[in-house]
Structure 1
Amino acid sequence: MLLDLRRAITVSIIFFVILGLAYPLAETGIGQALFNHQANGSLTAHGSERIGQNWDGPQWFHGRADGDDPTATGGSNLGPRSKELLDKYKERIAGLEKQGVTPHQDLVSASGSGVDSDISPAAAYAQISAVAEARGLSTDRLHALVENHVQGPQFGFLGAPHVNVLELNEELATLK
Structure 2
Amino acid sequence: MIRDITTSIRTTVVLWLLTALIYPMLIFAIGQGFFPTQANGSLITNDQGQIIGSALIGQTFSSDEYFWSRPSAIDYSQGEDAAPTGISGASNLAPSNAALLERIQSEAERLQAAGIEPTADLLYSSGSGLDPHISPASAFNQLDRIAAVRNLAPDNLQTLIEQHTEGRFLGIFGEPAVNTVTLNLALDQL
TM-score for the superposition, normalised by structure 1: 0.87
- Shift, 1:71, TM fit: 2.0
Matching of residues 26-37 of structure 1 within 5 Å? 26-37=26-37
Matches within 5 A, 1:138-149: 138-149=153-164
Between the aligned partners of 1:144 and 1:25, the Cα distance in structure 2 is 43
* CA pair 6-147 structure 1, distance change in 2 beyond 3 A: same
Question: Which of 72, 93, 99 is 1:77 aligned to?
Answer: 93
Confirm whether residue 61 of structure 1 aligns to residue 76 of structure 2.
no
Decide whether the 8 Å contact of 2:112 with 2:118 is kept in 1. yes
CA distance in 2 between counterparts of 1:133 and 1:76 reads: 37
Number of the residue aligned with 1:52: 58
Give the TM-score taking structure 2 as reference length. Answer: 0.81
State how 1:1-176 maps to structure 2 within 5 Å. 1-45=1-45, 46-66=52-72, 67-69=74-76, 71-79=87-95, 81-175=96-190
Native 8 Å contact 2:93 2:100 kept in 1: no
Note the aligned Cα RMSD (angstroms).
1.9
Q: Return the offset for 1:31.
A: 0.9
Cα 1:6–1:78 shift into 2, 3 Å: closer
Q: By how many angstroms is 1:75 displaced?
A: 4.2
Deviation track 1:97-137 (CA, whole Å, cap 9, x = no partner) reads 33333322321222233222111110000001111122121
Summarize the Cα distance change of 1:20–1:138 in structure 2 as closer, same or farther, 3 Å threshold.
same
User: Partner letter of residue 38 of structure 2?
Assistant: Q
**Structure 1 segments of 4 or more deviating over 6 A?**
none
1:128, 1:139 within 8 Å by CA — same for their partners in 2? yes
SS of residue matched to 1:160:
coil
* Structure with the largest fraction of helix: 1
Gaps of 5+ in 1: none
Aligned counterparts of 1:138 and 1:161: Cα–Cα separation in 2: 24
Q: Please give the secondary structure, in 2, of the residue aligned with 1:44.
A: strand
